[in-house]
């Protein structure tokens, strides 16, 4: 068990964390990136990316390798360790504890731990993830031009994304397990007024079925009548929740109703010295471009914060 001291600790090596590492290196900060798995974050669950400027089309795995190599080139220290807790101590510095037993100390932490879309948990979902099962309409919608799609959920995300997907799809079924939406009235209106959308009330997905390559149909059950049926679709978008990875932070912090960090305009959370960037932060949309943008701002702001801390330290007298 070792104790290591840094200027800056970055938790998570997705696009936000790797970009933060790059900027930290270029700012001559002593930084470490703690990542529980392979670097890349959600990029590793993404097949093709077609909306990252400079790359008309790139595999998620390739973009993550390029981002990691770029960060390492500027001197980033990338450590494989799952962070168990991030705690601000009485002296103002952060104590970050890893699963390895090692502890990491720094006056500044940037949390870039992303989040996890809630899964349906039905057979076929993991097998067809990225091959017809998606959790991101903005990212994957255009791969389904002219196809029939299903959206699962009944909240704001499901209704908003169903409406968005009609730009590409010939038809979108919204499958909701209740007989009314939870979504805000304006989003509901858009769904009900969209001729390409049909709502299937009281429906749950029991299985996602495919031909070995792509999704071809859903096995559905009506929770009221118990009737089972099949629905032919080319893709299924699941919007039943997204869990931001904020649980490792000890102590109270400002967050929105869904648990995302609320930050100021330089990405500082309500805990001084704790910054948040990327999918873990409350914001309009969650994309690679927004994650790296947040991370850039966070590191520049963190560097200024560190400089101010040092200016405030009493000068030793002899």
* Residue 64 interacts with ligand FAD (CB under 6 A): yes or no: no
* Residue 291 interacts with ligand FAD (CB under 6 A): yes or no: yes
The answer to whether the beta carbons of residues 293 and 281 sit under 8 Å apart is: no
What residue has token string 């299985």?
A: 207
Kindly indicate which of the ranges 33-41, 172-180, 183-191, 220-228 contains the residues binding ligand FAD, using the contact rule CB under 6 A: 33-41
Report residue 95 as tokens. Answer: 């104590």
Of 271, 291, 296, give the one whose Cα is nearest residue 281: 291
* Residue 135 interacts with ligand FAD (CB under 6 A): yes or no: yes
- Cα pseudo-dihedral 280, 76, 264, 185, rounded to 10: -20
Kindly indicate which of the ranges 119-127, 130-138, 143-151, 213-221 contains the residues binding ligand FAD, using the contact rule CB under 6 A: 130-138
* Residue 36 interacts with ligand FAD (CB under 6 A): yes or no: yes
Kindly indicate which of the ranges 71-79, 133-141, 225-233, 257-265 contains the residues binding ligand FAD, using the contact rule CB under 6 A: 133-141
Q: Which residue in the set 9, 10, 29, 43 belongs to the binding site for ligand FAD (CB under 6 A)?
A: 43
Closer by beta carbon to ligand FAD, 37 or else 251: 37
| DSSP symbols for 65-123 | HHHHHHHHHTT-EEEE--EEEEEE-TTS-EEEEETTS-EEEESEEEE---EEEPP---T
Distance, C-alpha 302 to centroid of its chain = 22
* Residue 158 interacts with ligand FAD (CB under 6 A): yes or no: no
Q: Which residue in the set 27, 45, 194, 270 belongs to the binding site for ligand FAD (CB under 6 A)?
A: 45
Count of positions on this chain that bind ligand FAD (CB under 6 A): 37
* Residue 96 interacts with ligand FAD (CB under 6 A): yes or no: no
Report residue 249 as tokens. Answer: 């932070």
In angstroms, rounded to a whole number, what is the distance separating the alpha carbons of residues 144 and 159?
Answer: 18
92: region left, alpha or beta (phi > 0 left; psi from -120 to 50 alpha):
left
- Cα pseudo-dihedral 262, 257, 99, 14, rounded to 10: -60
Please tell me whether residue 168 adopts helix, strand or coil conformation.
Answer: coil
Q: What is the distance in angstroms between the CA of the first residue and the CA of the last residue of the chain?
A: 37
* Residue 114 interacts with ligand FAD (CB under 6 A): yes or no: yes
β-pair partners for 218: 208, 231
Active site positions, annotated:
136, 139-140
* Residue 13 interacts with ligand FAD (CB under 6 A): yes or no: yes
Q: Which residue in the set 6, 24, 29, 35 belongs to the binding site for ligand FAD (CB under 6 A)?
A: 35
* Residue 147 interacts with ligand FAD (CB under 6 A): yes or no: no
String of contacts with ligand FAD for each residue 250-289, x by CB under 6 A: ----------------------------xx------xxxx
The CA angle 116-119-125, to the nearest 5 degrees, is 125
Closer by beta carbon to ligand FAD, 78 or else 248: 248
Q: Which residue in the set 97, 217, 245, 297 belongs to the binding site for ligand FAD (CB under 6 A)?
A: 245
* Residue 15 interacts with ligand FAD (CB under 6 A): yes or no: yes
Burial of 131: CB neighbours in 10 Å, binned 0-12, 13-18, 19+: middle
Residues 161-180 that bind ligand FAD (CB under 6 A): none
Q: Which residue in the set 82, 224, 232, 307 belongs to the binding site for ligand FAD (CB under 6 A)?
A: 82
Cβ 39 to ligand FAD shortest distance, Å: 7
In angstroms, rounded to a whole number, what is the distance separating the alpha carbons of residues 46 and 221?
Answer: 29
Contacting residues toward ligand FAD, per CB under 6 A: 11-17, 34-37, 41-43, 45-46, 49, 51, 82-83, 112-114, 117, 134-136, 139, 245, 248, 278-279, 286-289, 291
């Amino acid at each position: 068990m070792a104790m290591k001291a840094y200027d800056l600790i970055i938790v998570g090596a997705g696009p936000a964390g790797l970009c933060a590492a790059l900027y930290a290196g270029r700012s001559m900060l002593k930084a470490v990136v703690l990542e529980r798995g392979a670097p890349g974050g959600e990029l590793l669950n993404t097949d093709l990316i077609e909306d990252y400027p400079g790359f008309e089309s790139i595999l998620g795995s390739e973009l993550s390798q390029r981002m990691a190599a770029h960060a390492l080139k500027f001197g980033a220290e990338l450590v494989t360790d799952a962070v168990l807790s991030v705690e601000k101590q009485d002296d103002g510095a952060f104590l970050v504890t890893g699963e390895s037993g090692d502890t990491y100390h720094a006056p500044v932490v940037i949390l870039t731990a992303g989040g996890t879309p809630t899964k349906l948990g039905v057979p076929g979902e993991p097998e067809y993830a990225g091959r017809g099962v998606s959790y991101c309409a903005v990212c994957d919608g255009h791969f389904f031009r002219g196809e029939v799609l299903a959206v699962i959920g009944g909240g704001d995300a499901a209704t908003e994304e169903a409406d968005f997907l009609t730009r590409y799809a010939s038809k979108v079924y919204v499958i909701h397990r209740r007989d009314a939406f939870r979504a805000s009235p304006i989003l509901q209106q858009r769904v009900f007024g969209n001729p390409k959308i049909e709502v299937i009330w009281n429906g749950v997905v029991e299985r996602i079925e495919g031909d070995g390559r792509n999704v071809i149909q859903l096995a559905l059950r009506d929770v009221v009548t118990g009737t089972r049926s099949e629905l032919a679709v080319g893709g299924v978008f699941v919007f039943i929740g997204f869990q931001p990875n904020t649980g490792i932070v000890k102590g109270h912090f400002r967050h929105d109703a869904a648990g995302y960090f609320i930050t100021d305009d330089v990405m500082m959370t309500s805990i001084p010295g704790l910054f948040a960037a990327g999918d873990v932060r409350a914001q309009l949309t969650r994309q690679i471009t927004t994650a790296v943008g947040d991370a850039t701002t966070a590191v520049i702001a963190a560097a200024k914060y560190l400089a101010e801390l040092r200016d405030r330290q009493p000068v030793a007298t002899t």
